Each structure stands twice: as structure tokens, then as C-alpha cells.
Amino acid sequence: MRSPSKLLAKSLLTAASVLVIAAPITLPLAAQESGGRVVLVLPFDNRSGNPSLNWIGDSFPDTLNKRLDSAGFLTISHDDRSFALDHLGLPAGFKPSRATTIRIAQQLDANYVIVGSYNVSGANGTAPDKITIQAEVLSVDNLTLTAPIQDGAELPRLFDAENAIAWKVARSIDPHFNVAEATFLFAPGGVSLPAFEDYIRGTNAPTADERTKRLQAAVALVPTYSAALLALGKEQYAARDFTSAAATLSKVPLADRLALEANFYLGLARFNTANYAGAEQAFAFVAQHLPLPEVVNDQAVASSRQNKDAAPLFQRGSAADPSDADYHYNLAVSLYRRGDIAGALKEADAALKLKPADNEVGALRAHLSLAPAGSKLTPTATFSPLERIRRTYSETGFRQAAFQLDQMRAARMATLPPDQAAAQYTDLGLGYLAQGLLPEAEQEFQSALAANSNSAAAHAGLAQVREASSSTQDARNEANASLHIKPNAPAFLVLARLDLAANNLSSAAGDVSQALHIEPANSAAAALRMALQQRGQQVP
């Protein structure tokens, strides 16, 4: 049996042939030159002697995967890691030797494996416990192991310590990686330690009941915890509690990186409660960003259930993956609904060629052979075919498809003139910045500056990243660098906010005045002017 990554090769190719992504993630220029980028993070070993802290070891793959994904690497999911252990006949909690680690990595086509350990020690009885972390990077291709990578923090700041380790790991794998450590530390996703513990325990619990209870506890502590909402919604969906699943999954913000997976399951949950309009809306959102054949197919099925002509959508799905019999069958049913008997016969024949023993397809083919030209599908008690929906979401498949397409887009952008490439990278960075995705935003701005170091917009974007990560002096330096190239409102507003925070009201007023002179309708500048006026400082 092949690993999931190999099995998904066809999906990547078919996706690449049809995808138009609204806001894709492009790899930084350094990522394009650094070779293999597939990373496997294994649970870290607990050296504290306290079994109740074993959950912390399971948290490292979760956090490091998120950060390394944002850094342009392709990480291997929990499910794929479990697949490899099962395929090799190893229990889920198995602590592999170096030789076994290499076997697991090779099974999953990983280029690097991250292994590590941690210890937790009491401070002085009143201060929080402290965690010390040590990680190593194993290069599967070169069979080399890095020197230990270390970090630590007070235990309530576990998430920060893991982000710091992730940054150091990224730098170890890719010396060209140029995102600042502070950007990683201020990346989104951090929650209170109790909520984080419930989430990690919930995603790793052996029974469905325990998983659900733990995830509910995490959401109760932090109602906006997107990762816990997604995991809980999937558990509720698996338990066929579709109403609860839909309510939970709908709380994942559309701007969140988890929104694609959440909306796929949201679509299925709504579909199973006959909310076909809501299901179509959810699938359409996913298809807008990553229209793989299975997503377009499900959007079409939900549309068809509302008596809409979904044939164009079914045609997209079938054209993207012509080797799938279900897509041909669905298109045949849809064409029959609109009265295209010849077209329906052609698609039914294609489905039967791929799956000769499919009785439903055979029945449709027999019915079509007797239907007069131009007749439309009229369901009867004995013949009422329905299009087939896809009910499984492959997180790995979707991430790999996005990763592959990002590489293709980055290669195309590398052929653009410097000014155009910088402008496109900057636009992408601003999109990520608006979503609070600081590491992704910084990579785009750094790529823009690599393409054109005189991009005022890229420097201004980077200034905003530095401001968001509390790197005040660096933010000021980038804003001034931007203004040295070309006066612009975003850079002046960075300086205005920094001056306002430092209580330098006169300078802040001058910055706002300059921004309004360039962009009189700028709402952020208007808000800053009002804030200054409320503090008795007039803006010229």
C-alpha cells in the first residue's frame, strides 16, 4: 500500500488543471531554491517523570505543523502519521529509534523529521513551572542530525516556547528563511493553557466520547478557538449529530486558515439535514479558494437538490478528473434532467467503462436507451436516480494540492518583471495581514523586496508586520525606508500609531496630516485624527 501523499498525486494534477485560487499562498523565493520541503514532526518525549504531562508531547506536532506550514513547508498530518505507524505494525504511542524514525519518514516521503524532548520543573513554589525544550532535525535525504535546538519558558507560555522552537527549526532546515522570530511569537492561535490542554487531549483521545468531552471543554473555555471548533464539529459529524456539527462548524471564521476544511464538513452537515441552500453556500466557499473535483461535485449535488441545473458544475468536476466513474454518473443524471439524452448516454457509457459492475449506472444506462430524445427525468417509484455526494475530506490532499499550486504560482511569478512580481507579492501580503496571518504576510513582503528592494509598498507592509509583533524600532525603520522611496499613507500611519503609543502627540498629528494629504478618504487616518483630537491635539 502506498502512502497518502503518493495516492494524492492524481488529485494534485487534476487540481492544477482547473484551479483558479482567489488568494493563494505563494512560497517565498528562498523556499523555491531549498529543495525538499516535506516535514514530519513526531510527538516529543516527556522527560519530566510526570505522566500527566504526556499531553504536552502531543502538542508539539500540532503547533510546529501550523507554524512550519505558514513558513512554506509541507507538514505531515496526524492522520498520515498514524497511517504510517499502522502500516509498519507499530502502536500509536510507540517511541521510535532513529532507524525506525527513518523508516516512518520514508513511508511518508518526508525530507525532514523533527524529534525532541521536554522537561517541566517547579520554579520556587509560587512562580509557574518552567518547561525546557530540546529539538533535533533529522535530514532523511542526507541521514544527518542537527545539534540540539533549545528553548524554554514558563509553562503557561508553552505556546510561545513551541513557536520559538518552530522558528529555530525553520531556520535550521532553510538558512535563507528570513521571517523574524518575533513574527512567529505573535502568530495567531495562542490560547490559555487549560484550553490548549483540553484541545490536545481531545484530538488524541482514544474514544469518541472522550474526544467530544475534551473538545467541548476547550470551546467552553475559549468559544473562538477555531482549531477546537473544527475538531469538535468533525466529531459531531462523525457521530451523525448533524445539527450540532453545523452549529459548531459555522463558528469558524471564514478568514481563518481552517475555514476550508470547516466549510466542507459544514456543507455535509447541512446537506444531511436537507439544508441544501446552506450546503451549496458552504461548498461554494471552499470551491472558490480550492475547487478540487470533489468539492465542485458536492456543490453541484447541493445545487441539484434545489432543482437547479447543475450540469455545468458537474461538467467541471468530470473534466478535472475524467477517471472517476461517479463524476460521469452524476453528469449523466444531470444532463438527463435537462433533456440531453445523447449527452447523458455518453456520460453513462463512460461511467460503465470505468465501473462495469455499478448497478445504478447500469440501470440509468438501460433507462436512457429507452427514453425518447428530449425527454426529461421524471422520478417514479421504480426509477429515481440521484447524484452522488462525496463525504470524505482529505486534509492532507487539500493541503498538498494548495502547496503544489503555490509552487506553480511562485514559479510563474518569478518570470514577471521585478515591479510586477513585487506588486503581486505585496498584494498577497496585505491579504494575509488583514487576516492576522503575520508569518505568511511577512514572507510575501520579504519576497516582494527580494524581487524589488525599492518597493515602498512592501516596506510599508513589513512595517505593519513589525508593528503587529511589537518590534517598535524595526517597524519605525521599515516605515521610514518606505517613505524614503515614496510618501505613502500606510507608512505614515504606522509612524502615527507608534508616536501615539509613545505619547508623542505632535509627531503623531504630523504623520496623520501627511497620510490624509495623500489619501483624504483614508478611514484609518480619520480615526487616528479623532483619537488625537480627543486628547487635545489638533491635526493640521
Q: Is the pLDDT reported for residue 457 higher than 90?
A: yes
Q: Which residues contact 84 (CB under 8 A, 6 or more apart)?
A: 3, 104, 107, 108
Q: Tell me, what's the pLDDT at 128?
A: 78
Q: What are phi and psi of 521, to 5 degrees?
A: -95, 10
Q: Which residue has the cell 494534485?
A: 12
List the alpha helices (DSSP H) in 378-522. 395-413, 418-434, 438-451, 456-468, 472-485, 489-501, 505-518
* Residue 99 confidence (pLDDT): 79
Query: Which string of DSSP letters, residue by residue, matches 134-178?
Result: EEEEEETTTTEEPPPEEEEEEGGGHHHHHHHHHHHHHHHH-TT--
Half-sphere exposure of 289 (CA within 13 A, CB side): 21
**75-130 pLDDT, tens per residue?**
888 877 777 777 777 776 667 777 778 888 887 788 999 999 999 987 555 667 99
Cβ count near 391 (within 10 Å): 13
User: Are the CB atoms for 509 and 479 separated by under 8 Å?
Assistant: no
DSSP secondary structure letter of residue 38: E
Least confident of 96-100, 233-237, 245-249, 325-329: 96-100
Looking at the DSSP assignment, which residues form a beta bridge with residue 145?
138
- Across 305-309, average pLDDT: 94
Pairing mode, if any, of strands 38-41 and 112-121?
A: parallel
Of 10 and 533, more confident: 533
- Can you give the pLDDT at residue 265? 96
Tens digits of residue pLDDT in 210-231: 999 999 999 999 999 999 999 9
pLDDT over 80 (residue 169) = yes
The strand pair at 45-46 and 112-121 is best described as parallel
Task: Determine the distance from the C-alpha atom of residue 184 to the mean position of all C-alpha atoms in its chain, rounded to a whole number.
Answer: 16
Mean pLDDT of 264-275: 97
Inform me whether the pLDDT recorded for 202 exceeds 80. Answer: yes
Is pLDDT at 9 greater than 90 in this prediction?
no
Q: Return the percentage of the chain with pLDDT > 90, whole number.
A: 66
Percent of the chain past pLDDT 70, that is, above it, reads: 89
How confident is the model over 403-413, as a mean pLDDT? Answer: 75
Domain annotation for the chain: domains and CATH numbers: 1-22+190-285+388-414 (1.25.40.10), 29-177 (3.40.50.10610), 311-386 (1.25.40.10), 417-534 (1.25.40.10)
Q: Is 5 helix (H, G, I), strand (E, B) or coil?
A: helix
CB-CB contact of 139 with 111 (8 Å): yes
Helices (DSSP H) in 148-258: which residue ranges? Answer: 158-173, 181-185, 193-204, 208-221, 226-238, 242-249
**C-alpha cell, 386:** 440521484
Range name among 32-36, 79-83, 324-328 with the lowest pLDDT average: 32-36
Residue 270: what pLDDT?
98
Name the range with the highest mean pLDDT among 88-102, 364-378, 460-474. 460-474
What is the overall mean pLDDT for the chain?
87
Lowest-pLDDT range, 6-10, 401-405, 428-432, 535-539? 6-10
Instruction: Give 394's pLDDT tier (boundaries 50, 70, 90).
Output: low
Q: Has residue 18 got a pLDDT over 70?
A: no
Report, as an integer, the average pLDDT of 276-299.
Answer: 93
DSSP state of 23: S
DSSP helix/strand/coil, 198: helix
Whose grid coordinates read 505558514? 70
- For the range 337-346, what are the long-range contacts, defined as Cβ-Cβ under 8 Å and sequence gap of 24 or more? 337/304, 337/309, 337/311, 337/376, 337/377, 338/309, 338/311, 338/376, 339/374, 339/375, 339/376, 340/311, 341/368, 341/371, 341/372, 341/373, 341/374, 341/375, 342/373, 344/368, 345/369
**pLDDT of 10 strictly over 50:** no
410, 426 Cβ separation under 8 angstroms: no
Beta partners for residue 41, in sequence order? 114
pTM (2 d.p.): 0.81
Place of cell 502547496: 403
Q: Distance between CA atoms of 489 and 513, rounded to whole angstroms?
A: 10
